[in-house]
Amino acid sequence: MNFTKMQGTGNDFIVIEDLEEKYNDLGVLSKKLCDRHYGIGADGILVVRKSTIADIQMIIINADGSYASMCGNGIRCFAKYIFEKKYVLSENIKIETGDGVKLASICVCDGEFKGVTINMGKYNFNPISIPALSSSEIINKKLDTNNKDYYITSLLMGVPHTIVFGKLEDYEVCEGKVIENNSLFPQKTNVNFCEIVDKNRIRVKTWERGAGPTLACGTGSCAAVVAANRLGYTEGKVEVQVPGGILNIEIIKGEVLMEGPAETVFKGQFLTT
């Protein structure tokens, strides 16, 4: 199996092509490839498939074998891969995801990839959409778990996200596991601990559903900016500092734009037998 290892702000992925859909159990495959001792090592795999509604389709499988409908850092890497492989000749690529079709706008200089901006689409605070077992929106709501009080804000940003605001040093990222598995969230949730630096800058560390602690989470960074803006902590354009680097997020007319890096780490062959 040919593969390409990529990363976006430290969130790493294995890109494989499956245009003929010959890989049936992507969950088992992802667990094997993503194992950092016996496989290649990654937070998840990105599978390239044909699309009937967009230019190309991206399927995301987490390191634990679970399906993810969307991944912000992953889609930037995916867009770079598709552009450089010339599967799509335009600098504007429509990518089918589990969260609908996303538009990737490639920044090119002298024919070379320099960056990408993704229109992540709309966010949703409706508990039914997240999903969350709540009769009202979860905005700065007290959650008593793990012998600790957390004040959480939850929304759907492609995938479920819960944000806890405060000083980052007051929280260990592994505390996110307890919130992830809380009965409030029947399909679990990603958890982002967020510190407000000023009106235009925040710091975020993330516990990802299905992956654990990661150096960055694109959808989580978007969700944190949306939640911070909803609570009046920030403006609509925010620099997000994550352990793996910096993402730039902007809210425009109810939609979220995300700009950040994507890099190819190495290419190779994996022996599947």
Annotated ligand binding at 73? The verdict is: yes
The whole-angstrom separation of Cα 191 and Cα 40 is 26
The pLDDT tens digits for 248-269 are: 999 999 999 999 999 999 999 9
The H or E element that residue 199 is part of is none
Is 189 annotated as a binding-site member?
Answer: no
Query: Residue 109: is its pLDDT beyond 90?
Result: no
Distance (Å, rounded) from C-alpha 229 to C-alpha 20?
43
Q: Which residues are known to be catalytic?
A: 71, 217
The length of the chain in residues reads: 273
* 121 exposure class (CB count in 10 Å sphere: 0-12, 13-18, 19+): buried
Question: What phi and psi values does residue 26 have, to the nearest 5 degrees?
Answer: -70, -25
**Confidence tier at 273 by pLDDT (50, 70, 90):** low
Provide the whole-model pTM. 0.92
- What's the farthest any 2 CA atoms get from each other in the chain? 56
208 is in an annotated binding site: yes
Annotation-wise, does 92 bind a ligand? no
Write down all domains in the chain, each with its CATH number in brackets: 2-121+261-269 (3.10.310.10), 141-253 (3.10.310.10)
pLDDT, one tens digit per residue, over 140-185 is: 999 999 899 999 999 999 999 999 999 999 999 999 999 999 999 9
E strands present in the chain = 2-8, 11-17, 44-49, 56-62, 67-68, 92-97, 100-109, 112-122, 141-145, 148-157, 159-165, 190-198, 201-208, 212-214, 237-242, 245-252, 255-260, 263-269
Per-residue pLDDT at 207: 97
9 marked as part of a ligand binding site: no
Task: Tell me if 176 is assigned to a ligand binding site.
Answer: no
What is the CA 257 to chain-centroid distance, rounded?
Answer: 13
62 labelled as ligand-binding?
yes
* CA-based nearest residue to 104, from 124, 85, 81: 81
**Parallel, antiparallel or unpaired: strands 112-122 and 11-17:** unpaired
